[in-house]
Copies of this chain bind each other. A is one copy, B any other.
Amino acid sequence: MSTEDWDVYDRNCPTRRLLDRIGDRWTVLIVGTLDRGPLRFGEIARRIDGISQKMLTQTLRGLERDGLVIRTLYPQVPPRVEYELSPAGRTLQEPLRALEAWAESHMSDVLESRELYDRSASGACGPVRSRA
């Protein structure tokens, strides 16, 4: 909570980049899976259908670097690595859940709107609005 505040509408605003990270497709899903406690690498991979091992590693590293996820390595053979949300990471859950909830509840509207839009490639005259 620094007194200095950034402007996301400025090109060089670091907050803009952070926004990119947390809005990232995989970040949203990963943080979502970790809401019930620590998970092993493989467990996360299995829960998020379609994520590649590379993207999972990469995204987890980024989250760890940002202090949002804590990585715990148990030096065994075979190795066991657990990931859990940090306190800061837990505060991120609420906004992300809200976003996810919005997407779910507006999915059908959006789908309908797309169909309408795609169907009418041609328009009329007068001030043309995209939606009546």
Contacts and interface: CB of A to CB of B under 8 A. Distances in A.
A98 interface: yes
Contacts of A8: 29, 32, 100, 103-104
B11 A49 contact: yes
A55 interface: no
Contacts of A25: 16, 19-20, 23
Interface of A: 1-2, 5-6, 8-11, 14-16, 18-20, 22-25, 28-29, 32-33, 47-50, 64-75, 86, 88, 91-92, 94-96, 98-114, 116-118, 125-131
Contact of A6 (B2, B20, B73, B104): B104
Contacts of A75: 125-128
Contacts of A95: 95, 98-99, 101-102
